[in-house]
Amino acid sequence: MARRFAALGASVVVCDVDDDGGAETVRLLQETGAVALFINCDVADANAVARLHDEIVSRFGRLDCAVNNAGIGGPWERIESYPRDGWERVLAVNLSGVFYCLQEQLKRMADSSGAIVNISSIAGKRGLPYQAAYTASKHGVIGLTRVAAQEAARCNIRVNAVCPVYTHTPLFEPMIADNPRRAEKMKERIPLRRFAHPQEIADTVTWLCSDQARFITGQALNVDGGMTA
């Protein structure tokens, strides 16, 4: 997503708890001539999120687009044995983190306009067994998106969500790395018979932030190869 926004001419702020990964992303962007900055931020910390957005506006003067993409998977357990600390951590990052970011982003876009995309999941549209916290958090992201879209429309701010299917990312790869049979069974549930590529999600996100999607808000758009059909 960062590369795609940079290629379209945006100044990009990369935010993560991973200093090395964030710095490497920014280095790759800067090598292409893009304006890019890394800021460490744990989205589960409301005060850190406020400082992050203060710094963004201080450095660049305004905020035009935002993508709330931070997320963790959490434990794989049945509900009756799901660890409470795992539940609380997943909800803190995946749902409260989106809420804190939306609060700060909407404040800073209120005097102009903007576009926000929250990353949900197909787990926001259906239940994934043994992933109670992840599923609940991604359903919550869609609900937050719909509320924010209605509240922000008067300021010409659009808020949408993207719901990817299984995508080749570091969060997903360990699930299939040592189990080719599981990977094939998962692909069988997808009519296009493959997993998503990060670029396909990035293309959807940047389109939703563009003027081409200027009359689209409050939507939870599936990028799932037809799985939820």
The predicted pLDDT at position 139 comes to: 98
DSSP string of 6-56? HHTT--EEEEES-HHHHHHHHHHHHHTT--EEEEE--TT-HHHHHHHHHHH
Residues in CB range of 48: below 8 A, 6 or more apart: 41, 42
Domains for the chain: give ranges and CATH numbers. Answer: 69-169+196-223 (3.40.50.720)
Tokens representing residue 10 in the block: 């945006």
Distance CA 90, CA 74 (A): 6
Determine which one of 100, 130, 134, 166 is catalytic.
Answer: 134
- In this prediction, residues 146-153 reach a mean pLDDT of 98
Residue 14 has phi, psi (to 5 degrees) of -100, 130
Which of the four pLDDT bands, split at 50, 70 and 90, describes residue 176?
Answer: low
The predicted pLDDT at position 89 comes to: 98
Find which of 42-46, 128-132, 198-202 is predicted with most confidence, using mean pLDDT: 42-46
Listed in order, strand segments (DSSP E) in the chain are 12-16, 36-40, 65-68, 114-119, 157-164, 220-223
Q: Please, which residues bridge with residue 65 across strands?
A: 115
The predicted pLDDT at position 71 comes to: 94
The predicted pLDDT at position 105 comes to: 98
- The tens digit of pLDDT for each residue in 52-80 reads 999 999 999 999 999 999 999 999 999 99
- In this prediction, residues 135-141 reach a mean pLDDT of 98
Residue 192 has pLDDT above 90, yes or no: no
Q: Is there a catalytic annotation at residue 134?
A: yes
Q: Look at residues 105, 47, 98 and name the one whose alpha carbon lies nearest to residue 71.
A: 98
Average model confidence (pLDDT) across the chain:
93
